[in-house]
Amino acid sequence: MGCSQKRWRRACVALATAGMLVAPVSAGGAYAVPAPEPTRSAESRSTAEAGSGFPELGPAVAARLDEAIRAVMTETGVPGVIVGLSAPGKGEYVQAFGVADKTGDAPMETDLNMRIGSETKTFTVTALLELGRFLGIFWSLVQVCR
Protein backbone atom coordinates (compact mmCIF):
# COMPACT_ATOMS: atom_id res chain seq x y z
CA MET A 1 0.00 0.00 0.00
CA GLY A 2 1.52 3.33 -1.07
CA CYS A 3 1.86 6.43 0.99
CA SER A 4 -0.45 9.21 -0.15
CA GLN A 5 0.90 12.52 -1.38
CA LYS A 6 -1.16 14.28 1.30
CA ARG A 7 0.48 12.22 4.05
CA TRP A 8 3.96 12.97 2.69
CA ARG A 9 3.13 16.68 2.45
CA ARG A 10 1.92 16.72 6.07
CA ALA A 11 5.03 14.86 7.20
CA CYS A 12 7.30 17.28 5.33
CA VAL A 13 5.49 20.30 6.78
CA ALA A 14 5.77 18.81 10.27
CA LEU A 15 9.48 18.11 9.81
CA ALA A 16 10.12 21.57 8.35
CA THR A 17 8.29 23.22 11.24
CA ALA A 18 10.17 21.15 13.79
CA GLY A 19 13.42 21.83 11.95
CA MET A 20 12.88 25.56 12.26
CA LEU A 21 12.28 25.20 15.99
CA VAL A 22 15.25 22.96 16.66
CA ALA A 23 18.45 23.33 14.68
CA PRO A 24 21.12 21.02 16.11
CA VAL A 25 23.57 21.80 13.34
CA SER A 26 27.09 22.99 13.97
CA ALA A 27 28.90 25.47 11.76
CA GLY A 28 30.96 24.01 8.94
CA GLY A 29 34.63 24.65 8.34
CA ALA A 30 35.74 28.18 7.55
CA TYR A 31 39.08 29.94 7.44
CA ALA A 32 40.62 31.14 10.69
CA VAL A 33 41.08 34.90 10.90
CA PRO A 34 42.09 36.88 14.00
CA ALA A 35 38.98 38.47 15.46
CA PRO A 36 38.96 42.19 16.26
CA GLU A 37 37.17 43.46 19.33
CA PRO A 38 33.37 43.09 19.13
CA THR A 39 31.05 46.04 18.58
CA ARG A 40 28.04 46.33 20.87
CA SER A 41 24.57 47.53 20.03
CA ALA A 42 22.42 49.51 22.41
CA GLU A 43 20.83 47.38 25.09
CA SER A 44 17.04 47.39 25.25
CA ARG A 45 14.68 46.23 27.95
CA SER A 46 11.27 44.69 27.42
CA THR A 47 8.40 45.33 29.79
CA ALA A 48 7.05 41.81 29.31
CA GLU A 49 7.33 39.40 32.20
CA ALA A 50 10.03 36.71 31.86
CA GLY A 51 10.64 33.46 33.73
CA SER A 52 12.85 33.64 36.81
CA GLY A 53 15.10 30.79 35.57
CA PHE A 54 16.58 32.89 32.76
CA PRO A 55 19.30 35.35 33.86
CA GLU A 56 19.17 39.09 33.32
CA LEU A 57 21.16 39.89 30.17
CA GLY A 58 23.53 42.24 31.97
CA PRO A 59 27.30 42.77 31.80
CA ALA A 60 28.18 39.53 33.64
CA VAL A 61 26.14 37.36 31.25
CA ALA A 62 27.43 39.36 28.26
CA ALA A 63 31.02 38.70 29.34
CA ARG A 64 30.34 34.95 29.62
CA LEU A 65 28.65 34.90 26.20
CA ASP A 66 31.53 36.89 24.66
CA GLU A 67 34.04 34.37 26.02
CA ALA A 68 32.04 31.35 24.82
CA ILE A 69 31.49 32.83 21.34
CA ARG A 70 35.17 33.66 20.92
CA ALA A 71 36.11 30.13 22.01
CA VAL A 72 33.74 28.57 19.45
CA MET A 73 35.02 30.91 16.72
CA THR A 74 38.60 29.89 17.48
CA GLU A 75 37.72 26.19 17.63
CA THR A 76 35.73 26.18 14.38
CA GLY A 77 37.73 28.78 12.46
CA VAL A 78 34.72 31.02 11.82
CA PRO A 79 35.98 34.44 10.65
CA GLY A 80 32.97 36.49 11.76
CA VAL A 81 29.61 36.12 13.43
CA ILE A 82 26.70 38.22 14.65
CA VAL A 83 24.90 36.88 17.71
CA GLY A 84 21.54 38.12 18.95
CA LEU A 85 19.68 37.02 22.06
CA SER A 86 16.48 38.66 23.23
CA ALA A 87 14.59 37.71 26.37
CA PRO A 88 11.38 39.55 27.28
CA GLY A 89 11.87 41.38 30.56
CA LYS A 90 15.52 40.32 30.76
CA GLY A 91 17.12 42.50 28.08
CA GLU A 92 18.85 42.03 24.78
CA TYR A 93 22.34 40.90 23.77
CA VAL A 94 23.53 41.73 20.26
CA GLN A 95 27.22 41.39 19.41
CA ALA A 96 29.37 41.28 16.32
CA PHE A 97 32.67 39.39 16.36
CA GLY A 98 35.44 38.96 13.82
CA VAL A 99 35.59 40.18 10.25
CA ALA A 100 32.89 40.64 7.62
CA ASP A 101 35.09 39.51 4.73
CA LYS A 102 37.86 36.89 4.86
CA THR A 103 39.90 38.79 2.28
CA GLY A 104 39.75 42.12 4.10
CA ASP A 105 39.91 43.42 7.61
CA ALA A 106 36.50 45.14 7.80
CA PRO A 107 35.02 44.25 11.18
CA MET A 108 31.69 42.47 11.43
CA GLU A 109 28.96 44.91 12.53
CA THR A 110 25.58 44.24 14.11
CA ASP A 111 23.72 46.17 11.40
CA LEU A 112 25.43 44.33 8.53
CA ASN A 113 23.01 43.13 5.83
CA MET A 114 24.13 39.71 4.58
CA ARG A 115 22.66 37.61 1.80
CA ILE A 116 22.89 33.95 2.66
CA GLY A 117 21.76 32.66 -0.74
CA SER A 118 21.71 28.90 -1.19
CA GLU A 119 23.06 28.25 2.28
CA THR A 120 19.46 28.28 3.50
CA LYS A 121 18.58 25.15 1.54
CA THR A 122 21.62 23.24 2.77
CA PHE A 123 21.04 24.32 6.37
CA THR A 124 17.33 23.47 6.26
CA VAL A 125 17.88 20.01 4.77
CA THR A 126 20.71 19.25 7.20
CA ALA A 127 18.57 20.40 10.14
CA LEU A 128 15.66 18.25 8.97
CA LEU A 129 17.86 15.19 8.50
CA GLU A 130 19.46 15.70 11.90
CA LEU A 131 16.07 16.18 13.52
CA GLY A 132 14.69 13.14 11.75
CA ARG A 133 17.64 11.06 12.87
CA PHE A 134 17.30 12.36 16.40
CA LEU A 135 13.59 11.67 16.68
CA GLY A 136 13.45 8.64 14.42
CA ILE A 137 10.74 10.33 12.35
CA PHE A 138 12.13 9.50 8.93
CA TRP A 139 12.43 5.80 9.67
CA SER A 140 8.89 5.74 11.05
CA LEU A 141 7.55 7.39 7.88
CA VAL A 142 9.36 4.87 5.70
CA GLN A 143 7.83 2.00 7.67
CA VAL A 144 4.32 3.49 7.51
CA CYS A 145 4.51 4.10 3.75
CA ARG A 146 5.66 0.60 2.75
pLDDT: which is higher, 71 or 37: 71
Beta bridge partners of 97: 81
Segments of 14-90 assigned E as strands? 39-40, 80-87
pLDDT at 50: 43
Least confident of 37-46, 55-64, 67-76, 78-87: 37-46
pTM beyond 0.85: the answer is: no
Q: Is 84 helix (H, G, I), strand (E, B) or coil?
A: strand
pLDDT at 97: 94
Q: Is 62 helix (H, G, I), strand (E, B) or coil?
A: helix
What distance in Å separates the CA atoms of residue 55 and residue 9, rounded to the nearest whole number?
40
pLDDT: which is higher, 51 or 85: 85
What distance in Å separates the CA atoms of residue 30 and residue 27, rounded to the nearest whole number?
8
Starting at the edge strand that comes first in sequence, how are the strands of the sheet with 91-98 ordered? 39-40, 91-98, 80-87
What distance in Å separates the CA atoms of residue 96 and residue 37, rounded to the nearest whole number?
9
Model confidence over 8-53: pLDDT tens digits? 566 655 555 555 554 444 334 444 445 556 555 544 444 344 446 7
